[in-house]
């Protein structure tokens, strides 16, 4: 099958060396740098700036004033060749910014498939974003943040550098996250605390009422005021809930994936002595 034609508006600037897939559409006043790769069916609506090295996956749509692939906002960056990689079928709305990695860290910023970044949200250097992630307007994340699959961050949410957000977590609007958030966690407040589980997300994921009930039981036991640390409780949950996959995800996160202190409920053992740091 012959490739579909690519359209480049006469006012757009596409530098020599840029690689364009089939049926790419580049609208008025866009700038595509020489180290940029655009996959099939990518659309840059207008006034989009993409520098590189940056790869934009097939089927992505980028709205006006987005700036992708810029140098990291990091004083340690000295011009090393680093990358931004954006997956397939990602929607990038007005004014979104995404920066490349740094030379002394991962060296690349990676965004997964089927994500949506609403207006003026920001992805900093060396971040890893999973699949089906949604950032509402004005979300800000610092460098080296890792965000799991199907995470939603509400408008104006801010995530501290080096934080890890587990799969299927929900971060409320205007919430500042300074510590890691467990999978399926629901984080709220100007300084984030766990207000419970992301029950809506769990239902959307097809979990049964019985499964959800068991995960809620495990959540209560994880942060119980029983004289044990959160890590000790997690080790016990590993055997007590061996047949509940979401609980095992939470246990693995607490014991293996969390790198910073955990975001915890306002009361219980977790509020006083959560041991979320990796050892």
41 vs 268 pLDDT, higher one: 41
Any idea where the domains of the chain sit in the sequence?
7-144, 203-267
For residue range 79-126, what is the model confidence (pLDDT) as tens digits? 999 999 999 999 999 999 999 999 999 999 999 999 999 999 999 999
Which residue in this structure is represented by tokens 């004005």?
Answer: 138
Which sign, positive or negative, has the C-alpha torsion 179, 87, 72, 68? negative
Q: Which CATH class is domain 7-144?
A: mainly beta
Q: Is 63 a catalytic residue?
A: no
**Full-model pTM:** 0.94
143 labelled catalytic: yes
Half-sphere exposure of 16 (CA within 13 A, CB side): 0
DSSP 3-state of 170: strand
Task: Reply yes or no: is the peptide bond before residue 53 cis, omega within 30 of 0.
Answer: yes
Residue 118 exposed, middle or buried by CB count within 10 Å (0-12, 13-18, 19+): buried
**Cα–Cα distance between 74 and 91 in angstroms, integer?**
26
Instruction: Pick the catalytic residue from 57, 59, 143, 270.
Output: 143
Given 125, 144, 172, 276, the catalytic residue: 125
Name the catalytic one among 35, 41, 113, 126.
Answer: 126
Q: Is pLDDT at 275 greater than 70 in this prediction?
A: no
Residue 69 is among the residues annotated as catalytic for this protein: no
């Amino acid at each position: 099958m012959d490739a579909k034609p690519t359209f480049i508006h006469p006012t757009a600037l596409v530098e020599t060396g840029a690689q364009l897939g089939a049926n790419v559409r580049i609208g008025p006043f866009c700038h595509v740098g020489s180290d940029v790769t655009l996959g099939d069916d990518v659309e840059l609506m207008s006034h989009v700036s993409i520098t590189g090295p940056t790869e934009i996956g097939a089927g992505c749509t980028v709205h006006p004033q987005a700036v992708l692939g810029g140098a990291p906002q990091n004083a340690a960056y000295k011009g090393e060749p680093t990358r931004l990689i954006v997956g397939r079928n990602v929607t990038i709305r007005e004014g979104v910014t995404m920066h490349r990695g740094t030379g002394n860290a991962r060296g690349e910023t990676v965004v997964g498939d089927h994500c949506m970044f609403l207006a003026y949200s920001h992805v900093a250097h060396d971040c890893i974003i999973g699949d089906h992630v949604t950032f509402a307007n004005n979300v800000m994340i610092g460098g080296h943040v890792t965000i799991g699959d199907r995470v939603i961050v509400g408008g104006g949410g801010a995530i501290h550098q080096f934080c890890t957000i587990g799969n299927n977590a929900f971060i409320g609007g205007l919430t500042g996250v300074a510590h890691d958030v467990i999978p399926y966690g629901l984080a709220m407040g100007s300084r984030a605390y766990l207000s419970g589980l992301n029950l809506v997300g769990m239902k959307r994921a097809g979990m049964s009422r019985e499964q959800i009930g068991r995960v809620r039981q495990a959540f209560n036991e994880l942060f119980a005021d029983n004289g044990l640390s959160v890590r000790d409780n997690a080790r016990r949950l590993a055997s007590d809930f061996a047949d509940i996959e979401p609980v095992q995800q939470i246990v693995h996160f607490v014991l293996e994936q969390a790198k910073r202190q955990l975001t915890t409920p306002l009361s219980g053992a977790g509020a006083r002595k959560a041991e979320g740091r990796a050892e």
